[in-house]
Structure 1
Amino acid sequence: MLGLKKPALVAGAACALVAATAAPSLAETLKLAHFVPPAHVVTSSVVEPLVEGVAADSDGDLTIQVYPGGELGAGPMEQYVRALQGVADITWGLPGYTSSQFPKSMIVEMPNAIPDGMTGYDMLWNAYDAGKLSNEFPGTKPLAIWASEPSVFIMKDHEIRSPDDLKGLKVRVSGTVPGKLMTALGATPVQMPAGEIYNALQTGLIDGVVTGMSAVNDFKLDEVANSYTVGAPLGHIMFYLVMNQNSYDSLSDAQKAALDKNSGRGLSQKGEEGWNARAEETLEKVEADPNNTVIYLTEEEIAPFDKVATQTRDALIEDMGAEDVYAAMKGGN
């Protein structure tokens, strides 16, 4: 009898091993957090494609629960830290809020940095894939990195046609890069979260904003601004969607494959195209309002802005010693 028990135990263990191997991986739900309302362009252009794509390609084995409007923490400056600490598995944010962490990545924000025919997301991924930006994303895996539409002047009771029109004005900027440009143009840069712009414009704390037209719709700035200047080379705004590296590493191979398929350059392209489309729609809406003044600068009017913009870009890159990063962004070695 003792001789029969041993094979039975071995057979039982073998069956258990087969059953464990055949068993599907446990379903996983990731938390994605951001700080803006659900109607923000980030939802339609980035969040929804990621959520829907991952669920479909994993057959529901991997899902993403979205926490908008600061539900997991309201401060936009802490978005990266929330991913790093695992408060959320995935977070969306702006490098400009913590500029010192992303000096090389934010080259894409600089005025006249994106050459004609190139996109912000391709420049960022070119440099990231070349290993030039990896140290700026510690402990996380970028799922998307992209740039906004070109920034414009969004003003209250001030028409901007030349750098002289900016003298003495307080202009809100999203980070150090546009701040340097505003200083060079003669304005006083003021940095604050996007959610505070409305009240700041309404009360006169600031005279205007340098940002993309999509922000007008996202933050209802058309209710407090009345002058818009298009055409000056004011740069762009960079965005990231990052995932806690440990959260990613804990996924099954199939779950990783579903996430990888729906992130990277493809998702970044959706983000950039979504921002540009929203900007065009918003500009049309603003132009249709007779209470607004929309100024399209001529080539002659652009020239003095262009000179300062190029000087600012070159000086910032030289100060960082980041010529190699910029070259990698443009597809060079």
Structure 2
Amino acid sequence: MTFRTTFLGAAMAVAATVPVAAQELKFANFTPPFHTVNASVIEKLNADLTEATGGSLTVRGYHGGELGAGPVEQYVRAVQGVADMVWGLPGYTSQQFEKTMIVELPGVVPDDQSGADSLCNAMDEISGEFPGTVPIALWTSEPNIMIMKDKAIRSPSDLSGLKIRVAGATAGKIAEALGATPVQMPINQVYNAMQTGLIDGVFTGASTLSDFKLDEVADAYTLGAPLGRLAFFAVMGQGSYDALSDDAKAALDEARGCGLGNNAETAWNATATEALENARADAGNSFVDLSEDEAQAFVDAVSNVVADYVASVGGEAAFAAMQE
């Protein structure tokens, strides 16, 4: 037996005893670690993958914009490989997600269905809006409410001329239909914008009261108007996905999808419920809970928004699928 044969045999024996190196996926989070997305998506995904792979595939969250500042650029970070996974809002780049954002419009998600399921139902119609990535989860927020500073809103006329922050194009059309001036900006800029008077308020979910501390700058809330909701995505760069082993891909494919999206949406709703309870308990806040008659004025004002938007993006098939 030659030295080379002996050496190769010994090397192969040693290699067989060495466990496969663990792979850690980088998940870019533009919010602090206390945000709802961390436990409901990032930590949930890590726990599921760790268990499924015996620890050979894990997920680590990089919080507070550690992998790059600015939520608008999240999607690009996944495509370019700056992060393996990201989460974000389609509304921040509305032109890319024209059909996906139909789910944000009032009345699109049936009362007995989650937004996550509506988006899952429409994947055949909207998948083309996620180039260069593999969707990990899609979901929606709790229904939007009016979160205002020094302005109690009881009718559409109360919104006339007010500057309202919106996340994207769909919410912008709703704000315009109600007579407000939409101002599009990322949610992490809203606190300062409300505090300084740059905007009068925001149409968004109550979860932002705790996730982004908007309870510290808002003092007037209106509930019951048809304002739709927000959509969210978590995606993985196609290059990162392709680099996984077959076993790792199988584990990820089992962990991602509708179940993870619904887990996130359930958490968003729970955060919103708790945040609203806390806001109502604050004597410094005023609440307007619209009666059915009062809400009808808002319904009438936005009645054409859904049909007009769906037609403008050729989204009839996506709209129908979301309502299945």
Superposition TM-score, scaled by structure 2 size: 0.94
Give the alignment of 1:21-36 within 5 angstroms.
Answer: 25-36=20-31
Give deviations 1:171-201, integer Å, cap 9, x for gaps.
0001111001101110000011111111111
Give the aligned partner of residue 61 of structure 2: 66
Q: Deviations over 1:31-77 (max 9, x none)?
A: 10010011111112211111111112110100112101000101111
Among 278, 283, 299, which residue is 2:292 paired with? 299
Give the counterpart of 2:80 among 71, 78, 85. Answer: 85
Q: 1:22 to 1:290 in 2, by over 3 A?
A: same
- Where does 1:164-203 land on structure 2 (aligned, <5 Å)? 164-203=157-196
Q: Write the distance in 2 (CA, Å) between the matches of 1:307 and 1:21.
A: 70
Flag the 1:127–1:20 CA change in 2: closer, same or farther, 3 A.
farther
- Aligned partner of residue 172 in structure 1, secondary structure: strand
Higher radius of gyration, 1 or 2 = 1
- Could you tell me which runs of 5 or more consecutive residues in structure 2 were left unpaired when the two chains were aligned: none
Question: How far apart in 2 are the matches of 1:108 and 1:289?
Answer: 32
Q: Take 1:143 and 1:19, find their aligned partners in 2: how far apart are those partners?
A: 37
* Residue from 247, 259, 264 that aligns with 1:254: 247
Per-residue CA shift, 1:6-52, capped at 9, x if unaligned? xx97x999999999899754421111001001111111221111111
The question of whether the paired residues in 2 share the 8 Å contact of 1:168 and 1:188 is answered with yes
Q: How does 1:265-284 map to 2 (within 5 A)?
A: 265-284=258-277
Query: Contact 2:43 / 2:59 at 8 angstroms: preserved in 1?
Result: no
Aligned to 1:105: 100
Q: 2:234 aligns with which of 210, 224, 241?
A: 241
More deviation in 18-27 or 304-313? Answer: 18-27
Distance between the aligned counterparts of 2:209 and 2:271, measured in 1?
A: 10
Q: CA deviation at 1:308?
A: 2.7
Structure 2 match to 1:96 = 91
CA distance in 1, matches of 2:271, 2:39: 10
Paired residue type of 2:213 = K
- The one-letter code matched in structure 2 to 1:106 is M
**Over aligned residues, Cα RMSD in angstroms?**
2.1
CA contact (8 A) 1:49 1:262 kept: no
Cα pair 1:108 1:123 within 8 Å, conserved: yes
Match of 2:307 in 1: 314
> Match of 1:99, as an amino acid?
S
Alignment of 1:121-132 (within 5 A): 121-128=116-123, 131-132=124-125
Deviations for 1:273-306, whole angstroms, at most 9, x for unmatched residues? Answer: 0000100000000000111011111100111211
* C-alpha separation in 2, matches of 1:249 and 1:212: 35
Alpha-carbon distance between aligned partners in 2 of 1:12 and 1:222, rounded to the nearest angstrom: 68
State how far apart, in whole Å, the 2-side matches of 1:236 and 1:275 are.
12
Partner of 2:39: 44
Cα distance in 2 between the residues matched to 1:50 and 1:173? 29
* C-alpha distance in 1 between matches for 2:237 and 2:157: 46
Contact 1:171/1:188, CA 8 A, preserved across alignment: yes
SS of 1:32's equivalent? strand
Kindly indicate whether the alpha-carbon contact (under 8 Å) linking 1:35 and 1:75 is maintained by their aligned counterparts in 2: yes
* Residues 250-259 or 87-96, more deviating: 250-259
Aligned length in residues: 323
Q: Distance in 2 between matches of 1:268 and 1:217?
A: 21
Q: Distance in 2 between matches of 1:82 and 1:75?
A: 11
The one-character-per-residue Cα deviations of 1:144-196 (angstroms, maximum 9, x if unpaired) are 00000000000011111110110010000011110011011100000111111
**Partner-residue secondary structure (3-state), 2:27:** strand
One-letter code of the match for 1:36? T
The one-letter code matched in structure 2 to 1:126 is N
